[in-house]
Amino acid sequence: MSNESLANLLKEERRFAPPAELAAAANVTAAAYAQASEDRLAFWAEQARRLDWATEPTETLDWSNPPFAKWFVDGTLNVAHNCVDRHVEAGNGDRVAIHFEGEPGDSRAITYAQLKDEVSRAANALLELGVTKGDRVAVYLPMIPEAVVAMLACARIGATHSVVFGGFSADAVASRIQDADAKLVITADGGYRRGKATALKPAIDEALTKCPQVEHVLVVRRTGQDTAFTEGRDVWWHDIVERQSAEHTAEAHDAEHPLFILYTSGTTGKPKGILHTTGGYLTQAAWTHHAVFDLKPETDVYWCTADIGWVTGHSYIVYGPLANGATQVIYEGTPDTPHQGRFWEIVQKYGVTILYTAPTAIRTFMKWGDDIPAKFDLSSLRVLGSVGEPINPEAWVWYREHIGAGKAPIVDTWWQTETGAMMISPLPGVTTTKPGSAQRALPGIAATVVDDEAREVPDGAGGYLVLTEPWPSMLRTIWGDDQRYIDTYWSRFGPGASAAGAAWRYFAGDGAKKDEDGDIWLLGRVDDVMLVSGHNISTTEVESALVGHPAVAESAVVGATDATTGQAIVAFVILRGTATDSPELVEELRAHVGRTLGPIAKPKQVKVVGELPKTRSGKIMRRLLRDIAEGREVGDTTTLADSNVMNLIQAGLTNPP
Ligand code: WT7
């Protein structure tokens, strides 16, 4: 980022101190930063001791062959034992682990003791189906408790799971099954979404025509819809799991045993199978969940609204919360079924105290109107989390005011599938928060911002986010492709690649800036930075400025090739219910961005649309908008959550380019 444009950007001066009461009783205080900076490895060794090890590790980090890290390498432990059995052994078997809320309104409470039995039965069933330690198992399930049970059963026996999001197509599932060479698939007849039973099993049947190595398909009955069965291959979950013994002795696995593979699509090339292992991953997932949410397992009710098919679901529905003995809510469906207050109704029903959701959801709630959450009792909420993309200050402030009663601290958590767990985030009892900034690397994590030459930028300047020390939950490689792992993450700013010496630096792919206090502001993927008349301008900042205008509910900004300026800024906006599209409003929005960020950031065009193209994880597909802005035929839309959106946008354009 050029510093002159940065000086204009993100002038956000609101500050929110942590609530005194929370700070006084916080799990983690400012001392953690000091302790970790004094001895980072000793800090992580201490956090590892929060887990139950069969063999205590004596070595914390082996970094003798960078960028291939080994954490706690001579330790052994069982993840399922840590997430379930040990809580029962500690006398907390009657504590609810999962309050499950189905979309149609069915609910189930599952205690830790019941979860232990269910995971043990499922582990025995996997063994009966011929799955053994080291095998890969693909999981393609809706958001139901069996998804958690399936993952923990794999972890228990040392099988490596590869969860594929239930919204993905048969082709996407097939390529992931093939890449991981999975021998078992766990799926369901279907799940409930938007008031309908949506089938899942047909996608598996289709995918498996290309995956001969799969021996069995284990099928959960969720909806009861008609389901084709292949004799000898397919097995009902209730037939095989329920007749198993609830006794299963969890064997300890090596700290570096592969726990899971999770595919991340990226913008180009085939999906990358991100590999996470056992001891370091669980250490950081559990500690960050304890520290960043200030979780008190006896009294808190925690709810993460992500899907288990994303890393957020892995680390902050399954592994982190369960390792900490949390009570949590799992909700199957969409936020507007059967009405737009469904989330708040759930918060009220279960007395949710900690909520973790995404900026895209928050902006949707803003668009639906303040009156909807106002109808529910949200007074139980005490910590609010955000993840997935930069949160613009207006959405941040709305979240705090309308969901958090103007009191609950917001933790804006930056991390990635690759990092496995949170990396940059405020601590709710320590940090004076700034709307829109993830602020500071967590204790034990080393992050900074560098320029093109890998030199650390001064405070007040921008560049690329890098991680300068290995961390426990880091990806270990890309499954089956060590070279791609090196090339993708470590070459750009690694040893020999720059003037800045021989250090290993992990390139996250995100642009970032440091403010005058040294706090970090994430600016989106570097692929999303525009170059306008020689100035770097991030799409995030222009979007944030637009959403700061009272007429705008949501926006997406792209750079379109322009003969004069190299790239020109084209903004797509969704208006709030109270505003109407007019040439005057469009002019006003352009002027508003110019006033907020400086004339250079003024969009050349502002287009009012009804919807924005998003992936199923809520990320805006700017590539498709760029196609429209540049007057091309719209490219591949297969990963869109709603494939009709592009037609709507095209049809709704009032002044096509
Ligand atoms: C990318 C990783 C982390 C779980 C969900 C996404 C963006 C994520 C933030 C945040 C700004 C964020 C980054 C990152 N991102 N959280 N708090 N502020 N940007 O996992 O699909 O692997 O995506 O999401 O661009 O690189 P993912």
pLDDT digits over 358-385, tens only? 998 999 999 999 999 999 999 999 999 9
The model's pLDDT over 253-305, given as tens digits with 9 standing for 90+, comes to 999 999 999 998 754 567 899 999 999 999 999 999 999 999 999 999 999 99
pLDDT at res. 3: 44
Buried b (16+ CB within 10 A) or exposed e, 532-545: beebbbbbbbbbbb
- Mean pLDDT to the nearest integer, 244-252: 98
Residue 179 annotated as binding site = no
Q: How far is the CA of 517 from the centre of ligand 1 (A)?
A: 23
| Residue owning the nearest CA to atom 8 of ligand 1 | 388
How does residue 599 score in pLDDT terms, banded at 50, 70 and 90? confident
Q: What is the pTM of this model?
A: 0.89
Q: Measuring from atom 12 of ligand 1, which residue has the nearest CA?
A: 389
Task: Return the SS3 of 575.
Answer: strand
Between the CA of 356 and the centroid of ligand 1 the distance, in Å, is: 14
Ligand 1 pocket, CB under 6 A: 264, 310-312, 387-390, 412-417, 438, 508-510, 522, 525, 617
Q: Is 156 annotated as a binding residue?
A: no
- As a dihedral over the C-alpha atoms of residue 320, residue 322, residue 324, residue 330, rounded to 10 degrees, the angle is 80
% of the chain at pLDDT higher than 70: 96
Residue 418 alpha carbon, nearest atom of ligand 1? 22
The residue contributing the CA closest to ligand 1 atom 5 is 388
Identify which of 419, 421, 474, 466 has the alpha carbon closest to the alpha carbon of residue 446.
Answer: 466
By mean pLDDT, which of 123-127, 241-245, 453-457 is the weakest? 453-457
* d(CA 16, ligand 1 centre) in Å: 23
pLDDT class of 500 with cuts at 50, 70, 90: low
CA atoms within 13 A on the CB side of 107: 12
Going from the Cα of 618 to the center of ligand 1, the distance in angstroms, rounded, reads 11
Is residue 294 within 8 A of residue 428, CB to CB? The reply is yes
How far, in Å, is the centroid of ligand 1 from the Cα of 414?
6
What ipTM did this prediction achieve? 0.99
Separation CA 495–CA 561 (nearest Å): 34
**Residue with CA nearest ligand 1 atom 1:** 416
